[in-house]
Amino acid sequence: MAATVAASVCPGNSAVYSAWGRSLGLFRFCNRPAGPWEYRLRAVILFSSQLLLALIVDVSRGGDLFPQSRVFPVWSVPLAILLGTVGLAIRIWGTSVLSAEVVTGFEPTSQRLVTSGPFGIVRNPLYIGTMLMFAGFAALFGWIAAVAFLLFHFIRNNRVVCAEEELLNQQWGRQFSDYCRKTNRWLPGRLPGNQPLGPFCTRDGILGNVVFVSIWVGLIISIWTANLWNLLYCELLGVALALVHMQVLKAKAVLPEAAAEAESLTAGKL
């Protein structure tokens, strides 16, 4: 109402208030928790966005769709390698601290509240690592594409994080509230003096990020060959390996229960 009155008194301000209203609407959307379908499809949205970005850029430039050979901006190559490497290292570090079951889960719940390692510096190091890797990929298409791509995934990840933090707050209560008060959601803070920083790289840390390791390898090969199709091939291989890894984890979780049930049946017969 105030914006409407001000715009009528001073018509020149109508565009300003309109822009302010749109900004406020975007802010509210960004900080609204993701719905169940959005959370479950977060990986699908993430990985499909790469092809969508390439398609949008190719169409806007009027060239061939998904050409076999590309010319990358000179400045983008070292930046893409740097962001990809740092992002992958952060993800492996964070996953090494967490268990692989938590990272690959479909529901935003955890059996333990992890506040050590990178989680003592910032609350969402895994999402930060992912955004750095994908910003590096987008940089190969130019700085405008990189900024737009990073903004899109920041908004999407912030909505996912809002959903996760609602459930974590219900699960952990004051313990999680205290953690949020001491540790920022996105901006890294100082190193915690009373929390261990490691482990930095474990087998679970690598296997839990096999898709992202494949993306990093594909990024290097694609830059070397000037062909982004190699990134897609490596990524598909990583997805296949990740599915195998998830099945192995499920089998390991089922085996102890099956053994205990067989033992109880055997004891009953005796």
**Hey, what are 154's tokens?**
């920041």
Q: What is the C-alpha to C-alpha distance for residues 189 and 177, in angstroms, rounded to an integer?
A: 17
pLDDT, one tens digit per residue, over 188-217 is 987 777 777 888 898 889 988 999 999 999
Q: How far apart are CA 93 and CA 201, in angstroms?
A: 6
Domain boundaries, given as residue ranges, for the chain: 33-256
pLDDT mean for each 10 residues of the chain (270 residues): 40 48 72 90 92 89 76 92 97 84 50 84 95 95 93 95 92 91 91 79 90 96 92 92 85 59 47
**Cβ atoms 238, 206 nearer than 8 A:** no
Give the predicted TM-score (pTM) of the model: 0.81
Dihedrals phi, psi of 137, to nearest 5 degrees: -60, -45
Give me the pLDDT at residue 269, please: 45
Alpha carbon distance 124, 108 (integer Å): 13
Do 229 and 66 contact (CB within 8 A), yes or no?
Answer: yes
